[in-house]
């Protein structure tokens, strides 16, 4: 009985003591993390479309570079695979966390607009990058003029082909505003010629495999397709796979989007005829610089278009672009 009493006393002492040590350590850990974070002037967040996507990785690279120059911390966060719901939930979480500024792909969902208002009420500016939603109340947009970029693709198709053409479009996501704008620009452009017809549009869900399958399906249904236009970064290489799979008698003309290394490689091999260049790294740099200026109470214009233009194999040597696109070519 005596021993039991001693034992319970020991337990009574040990339990709260270990809890104190554990939580004490946790508290200390959190504090030391906060101290590290406090050495930055601002904490900005970049909400990406897909964390591992090479195109978004370039936006991240530029954004991190610029943040470092402004003694700011840039957090890169988003879904593994494109997911609007998850991006909206992340945006909401970042507002609740009280970060200093948010840069995100623009979404045309009503909730997006509501969240931007919520952020504004808490004095957190939200900017769009890559894809805009001008009606949402966002602070500013940095990225390609997407309508113009699609228009340029159509113009190149007119210039480079002869006789009647039947075009299949592989669109990244038909719900994404930038993809819709590219398609609209392309459509308006080819409508200026009476020999080019857009016969079908299929979605790739912004994956190479999705683009290959969509191309395969389109060629199966319309074996008379003579040209393809891919509107997002991995569509071009997917189109090449789909065409290889179907082996049409004559290879369709292919115009892609973006200048990721795989696309340039396929252009050098002669499988892609041209591509629309975007400058994601520049988008990241600009977006953070403008966010910083905003925090410094400087005036920032609502729209900053980064360059775009058409690249073909004559602009590439050993997988690298040799001729930079002329600034403002598409503006
Ligand atoms: C688009 C992005 C998209 C990416 C997908 C780019 O062309 O601008 O919005 O996330 O392609 O790979």
Please report, for the domain that includes residue 129, its CATH number. 3.40.50.2300
Ligand 1, atom 1: closest residue by C-alpha: 232
Return the closest-CA partner of residue 141 out of 290, 277, 329, 278: 290
pLDDT exceeds 90 at position 211: yes
pLDDT exceeds 60 at position 120: yes
Average pLDDT over residues 110-135: 98
Q: Are residues 161 and 78 in the same domain?
A: no
165 near 229, Cβ under 8 Å?
Answer: no
Q: Comparing 3 with 203, which gets the higher pLDDT? A: 203
The C-alpha atoms of residue 46 and residue 37 are separated, in whole angstroms, by: 17
Q: Are residues 85 and 126 in the same domain?
A: yes
Q: Are residues 214 and 136 in the same domain?
A: no
Instruction: For the chain, give the percent of residues with pLDDT over 90.
Output: 84
Q: Are residues 177 and 130 in the same domain?
A: no
pLDDT exceeds 60 at position 20: no
Q: Are residues 178 and 317 in the same domain?
A: yes
Q: Which atom of ligand 1 is nearest to the CA of 144?
A: 8
Ligand 1, atom 9: closest residue by C-alpha: 130
Domains: count for the chain: 3
Q: Are residues 173 and 315 in the same domain?
A: yes
Task: Specify the long-range contacts of residues 79-85, CB closer than 8 Å, at least 24 apart.
Answer: 79/49, 79/50, 79/51, 80/50, 80/51, 80/52, 81/50, 82/49, 82/50, 82/173, 82/205, 82/206, 84/109, 84/175
Q: Are residues 66 and 150 in the same domain?
A: no
pLDDT exceeds 70 at position 311: yes
Q: Are strands 165-171 and 196-203 parallel, antiparallel or unpaired?
A: parallel
74 near 63, Cβ under 8 Å?
Answer: yes
Q: Which atom of ligand 1 is nearest to the CA of 235?
A: 12
Q: Are residues 139 and 266 in the same domain?
A: no
Confidence of residue 104 (pLDDT cuts 50, 70, 90): very high
Confidence of residue 328 (pLDDT cuts 50, 70, 90): very low
Q: Comparing 168 with 20, which gets the higher pLDDT? A: 168
Q: Which domain, by its residues, includes 166?
A: 146-279+311-327
- pTM over 0.95? The answer is no
Q: Are residues 214 and 90 in the same domain?
A: no
Q: Which atom of ligand 1 is nearest to the CA of 105?
A: 9
Q: Are residues 73 and 13 in the same domain?
A: no
Confidence of residue 271 (pLDDT cuts 50, 70, 90): very high
Confidence of residue 258 (pLDDT cuts 50, 70, 90): very high
Average pLDDT over residues 303-312: 97
CB 110: neighbour CB atoms within 10 A? 9
Q: Are residues 212 and 293 in the same domain?
A: no
Give residues (CB < 6 A) around ligand 1.
49, 53, 55, 130-131, 172, 178, 206, 232-234, 257-258
């Amino acid at each position: 009985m005596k021993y039991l009493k001693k034992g319970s006393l020991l337990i009574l002492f040990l339990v709260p003591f270990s809890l104190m040590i554990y939580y004490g350590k946790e508290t200390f850990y959190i504090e030391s993390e906060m101290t590290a974070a406090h050495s930055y002037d601002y904490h900005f967040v970049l909400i990406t479309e897909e964390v591992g996507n090479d195109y978004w990785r370039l936006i991240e690279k530029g954004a991190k570079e610029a943040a470092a120059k402004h003694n700011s911390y840039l957090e890169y966060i988003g879904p593994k695979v494109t997911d609007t719901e998850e991006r909206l939930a992340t945006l909401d979480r970042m507002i609740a966390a009280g970060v200093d500024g948010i840069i995100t792909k623009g979404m045309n969902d009503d909730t997006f607009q509501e969240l931007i208002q919520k952020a504004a009420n808490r004095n957190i500016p939200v900017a769009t990058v890559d894809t805009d939603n001008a009606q949402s109340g966002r602070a500013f947009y940095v990225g390609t003029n997407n309508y113009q970029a699609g228009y340029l693709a159509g113009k190149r198709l007119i210039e480079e082909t002869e006789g009647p053409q039947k075009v299949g479009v592989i669109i990244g996501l038909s719900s994404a505003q930038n993809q819709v704008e590219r398609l609209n620009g392309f459509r308006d452009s080819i409508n200026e010629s009476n020999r080019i017809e857009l016969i079908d549009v299929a979605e790739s869900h912004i994956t190479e495999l999705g683009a290959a399958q969509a191309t395969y399906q389109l060629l199966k249904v319309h074996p008379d397709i003579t040209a393809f236009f891919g509107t997002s970064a991995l569509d071009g290489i997917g189109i090449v796979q789909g065409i290889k799979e179907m082996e049409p008698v004559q290879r369709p003309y292919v115009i892609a989007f973006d200048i990721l290394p795989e696309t340039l490689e396929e252009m050098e091999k002669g499988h892609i005829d041209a591509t629309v260049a975007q400058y994601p790294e520049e988008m990241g740099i600009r977006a953070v610089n403008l966010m910083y200026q905003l925090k410094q109470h400087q005036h920032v214009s609502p729209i900053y278009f980064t360059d775009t233009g058409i690249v073909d194999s004559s602009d590439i040597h050993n997988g690298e672009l040799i001729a930079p696109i002329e600034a403002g070519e598409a503006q």
